[in-house]
């Protein structure tokens, strides 16, 4: 066994025995996609409503307006008739979420052509589907009122349009699909985070941790070259990053089908092909993360110090992603030169089902590897210096 693999095996097994490390390394990878899918389902539900379901509400004083009730019943509704003294209380107590109150004078006023006031009792602090029920019921009543009003004008020989000098029409271009897509665009953040979190504690344990426990000096007295030593430690960190990434992709593969993409007319089909492509494209990022984390953690003398540094380091790779999203960066050759950004963009393309350009993917992988080599060289240099004992 070479010195490199001896160190790798030791660090890997050593950290595999630490529950805290395992938890912090892999929890995001497992829970991330599940959390993401839950958010996605929630957003889509809120955006679309349960559009096919009937709206439910209760009515007090239904017998006073038989025509209106007749109209409402013919719509997609489910109506409970109430005989209640205090309908307001039934809403505050949560018996009903939406109550329509019709006054006894309704019929008389209607016949006289006067305005009738209908009261809609609801609790706007409640989430749930009340909001949609309310909007829908209001629309039905307005429709009925309009039709009635127009009929009254016709009967008096007046063009009903005279009372409507201006009409507005709204067109919200943010379709539910677009909203869902913007959420989907956050997936690459998860990818970068998962890769870095996977190796986070290992990078600390194998460097600053050794210094803190006093095991660094005896280790450096062993006949192993500094290059092999650093590479062994980095590989163990990279291995944890890779496991984290694989877990993330497996979790994603199994949880994404739960998002009802077909309801917004999207056919998002993440197959094994895409998953494998993401894995291959992200592999150099895993090495990059291991090198960067190991290098920075090596400057720290204690666990705590290293944690402070690395918490900041983890933010760094997400910065280009945020900038890119704000500036609406598209896939291009220049973007491929930036580690983490290139992987994020390629992953976004893959998820959207677009085909990625092979040479761009290769350039992304190659440049990331070049940076990794640079960082590794710096780390080895650091371990050649006496200050590493300090």
Partner 1 sequence: MIDVQKITKNYGAVEAVKEVSFSAADGRITALLGPNGAGKSTSLRILSTVARPDSGNAWVAGVDVVYDPMTVRQRIGVLPHNSGLYSRLTGIENIRYYGRLQGIETQQLEERIALLVEQLAMGEFCSRRTAGFSQGQQIKIALARALIHDPQHIILDEPTNGLDVMATRALREIVLNLRSQGKCILFSSHIMQEVDALCDHVIVISSGLVRFDGSISDFRALAGTASLEDAFVQIAGLGETP
When the beta carbons of 1 and 83 are compared against partner 1, the nearer one is 1
When the beta carbons of 181 and 220 are compared against partner 1, the nearer one is 220
Q: Give me the least distance between CB of 178 and partner 1, in Å please.
A: 50
Which of these segments, 11-19, 92-100, 107-115, 348-356, binds partner 1 (CB under 8 A)?
11-19
Q: List the beta strands (DSSP E) in 163-307.
A: none
Q: Give me the least distance between CB of 389 and partner 1, in Å please.
A: 6
SS3 at position 334: coil
Q: List the Cα angle 244/245/248 in 5-degree steps.
A: 85
- How many amino acids of this chain bind partner 1 (CB under 8 A)? 25
Using CA atoms, how far apart are residues 137 and 143, in angstroms rounded to an integer?
10
Which of these segments, 37-45, 99-107, 219-227, 363-371, binds partner 1 (CB under 8 A)?
219-227
Q: List the Cα angle 300/304/308 in 5-degree steps.
A: 75
Contacts with partner 1 in 78-117 (CB under 8 A)?
A: none
Instruction: Single out the residue of 51, 215, 332, 373 in contact with partner 1 (rule: CB under 8 A).
Output: 215
- Of the candidates 19, 16, 34, the one whose C-alpha atom is nearest the C-alpha of residue 239 is 16
Backbone dihedral angles phi then psi of residue 25, each to the nearest 5 degrees: -75, -40
Using CA atoms, how far apart are residues 365 and 280, in angstroms rounded to an integer?
9
Using CA atoms, how far apart are residues 20 and 196, in angstroms rounded to an integer?
16
| Contact predicate 259/41, CB 8 Å | yes
165 belongs to the binding site for partner 1 (CB under 8 A): no
Q: Give me the least distance between CB of 224 and partner 1, in Å please.
A: 5
17 belongs to the binding site for partner 1 (CB under 8 A): yes
Using CA atoms, how far apart are residues 149 and 147, in angstroms rounded to an integer?
5
Q: Give me the least distance between CB of 96 and partner 1, in Å please.
A: 60
Which of these segments, 143-151, 161-169, 209-217, 302-310, binds partner 1 (CB under 8 A)?
209-217
| Contact predicate 239/312, CB 8 Å | no
220 belongs to the binding site for partner 1 (CB under 8 A): yes
Instruction: Single out the residue of 222, 308, 332, 373 in contact with partner 1 (rule: CB under 8 A).
Output: 222
Using CA atoms, how far apart are residues 39 and 188, in angstroms rounded to an integer?
15
Residue 355 per-residue DSSP state: P
Q: Give me the least distance between CB of 225 and partner 1, in Å please.
A: 8
Backbone dihedral angles phi then psi of residue 339, each to the nearest 5 degrees: -60, 150
When the beta carbons of 118 and 220 are compared against partner 1, the nearer one is 220
275 belongs to the binding site for partner 1 (CB under 8 A): no
Q: Give me the least distance between CB of 386 and partner 1, in Å please.
A: 5
20 belongs to the binding site for partner 1 (CB under 8 A): no
24 belongs to the binding site for partner 1 (CB under 8 A): no
In this structure, are strands 98-101 and 119-122 parallel, antiparallel, or unpaired? antiparallel
When the beta carbons of 122 and 211 are compared against partner 1, the nearer one is 211
When the beta carbons of 85 and 386 are compared against partner 1, the nearer one is 386
Q: Give me the least distance between CB of 373 and partner 1, in Å please.
A: 24
- Long-range Cβ contacts of 17-22 (<8 Å, 24+ apart): 18/201, 18/205, 20/201, 21/201, 21/202, 21/205, 21/240
223 belongs to the binding site for partner 1 (CB under 8 A): yes
14 belongs to the binding site for partner 1 (CB under 8 A): yes
265 belongs to the binding site for partner 1 (CB under 8 A): no
Contacts with partner 1 in 224-243 (CB under 8 A)?
A: 224-225
Using CA atoms, how far apart are residues 204 and 304, in angstroms rounded to an integer?
9
- Of the candidates 363, 345, 359, 229, the one whose C-alpha atom is nearest the C-alpha of residue 284 is 363
Q: What angle do helix axes 272-298 and 226-255 make, rounded to 10 degrees?
A: 140
When the beta carbons of 157 and 223 are compared against partner 1, the nearer one is 223
Instruction: Single out the residue of 172, 218, 265, 358 in contact with partner 1 (rule: CB under 8 A).
Output: 218
Instruction: Single out the residue of 53, 73, 159, 217 in contact with partner 1 (rule: CB under 8 A).
Output: 217
SS3 at position 77: strand
Instruction: Single out the residue of 109, 213, 304, 352 in contact with partner 1 (rule: CB under 8 A).
Output: 213
Give me the residues that bind partner 1 (CB under 8 A), please.
1, 3, 6-7, 10, 13-15, 17-18, 213-225, 386, 389
């Amino acid at each position: 066994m070479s010195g490199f693999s001896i160190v790798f095996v030791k660090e890997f097994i050593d950290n595999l025995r630490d529950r805290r490390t395992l938890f912090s390394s892999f929890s995001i990878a497992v829970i991330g996609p599940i959390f993401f899918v839950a958010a996605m389902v929630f957003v889509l539900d809120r955006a679309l409503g349960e559009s096919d379901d009937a709206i439910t509400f209760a009515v007090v004083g239904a017998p006073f307006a038989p025509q209106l009730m007749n109209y409402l019943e013919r719509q997609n509704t489910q109506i409970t008739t109430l005989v209640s003294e205090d309908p307001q209380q039934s809403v505050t107590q949560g018996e009903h979420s939406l109550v329509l109150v019709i006054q006894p004078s309704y019929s008389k006023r209607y016949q006289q052509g006067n305005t009738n006031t209908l009261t809609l009792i609801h609790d706007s602090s409640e989430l749930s589907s009340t909001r949609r029920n309310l909007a829908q019921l209001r629309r039905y009543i307005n429709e009925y009122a309009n039709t009635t009003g127009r009929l009254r004008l016709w009967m008096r020989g007046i063009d009903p349009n005279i009372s409507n000098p201006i009409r507005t029409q709204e067109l919200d271009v943010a379709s539910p699909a677009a909203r869902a897509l913007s959420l989907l665009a956050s997936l690459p953040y998860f990818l970068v985070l998962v890769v870095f979190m996977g190796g986070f504690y290992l990078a600390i344990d194998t460097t600053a941790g050794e210094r803190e426990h006093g095991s660094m000096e005896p280790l450096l007295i062993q006949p192993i070259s500094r290059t092999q030593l650093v590479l062994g430690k980095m590989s163990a960190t990279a291995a944890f990053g890779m496991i984290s990434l694989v877990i993330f992709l497996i979790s994603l593969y199994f949880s994404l089908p739960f998002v009802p993409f077909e309801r917004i007319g999207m056919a998002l089909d993440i197959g094994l092909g895409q998953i494998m492509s993401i894995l291959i494209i992200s592999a150099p990022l895993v090495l990059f993360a291991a090198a960067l984390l190991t290098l920075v953690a090596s400057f720290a003398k204690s666990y705590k110090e290293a944690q402070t540094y690395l918490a900041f380091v983890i933010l760094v790779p997400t910065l280009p992603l945020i900038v890119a999203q704000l500036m609406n960066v598209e896939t291009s050759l220049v973007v491929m030169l930036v580690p983490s950004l290139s992987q994020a963009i390629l992953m976004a393309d893959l998820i959207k089902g677009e085909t990625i350009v092979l040479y761009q993917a290769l350039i992304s992988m190659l440049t990331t590897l070049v940076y990794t080599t640079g960082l590794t060289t710096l780390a080895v240099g650091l371990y050649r210096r006496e200050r590493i004992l300090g």
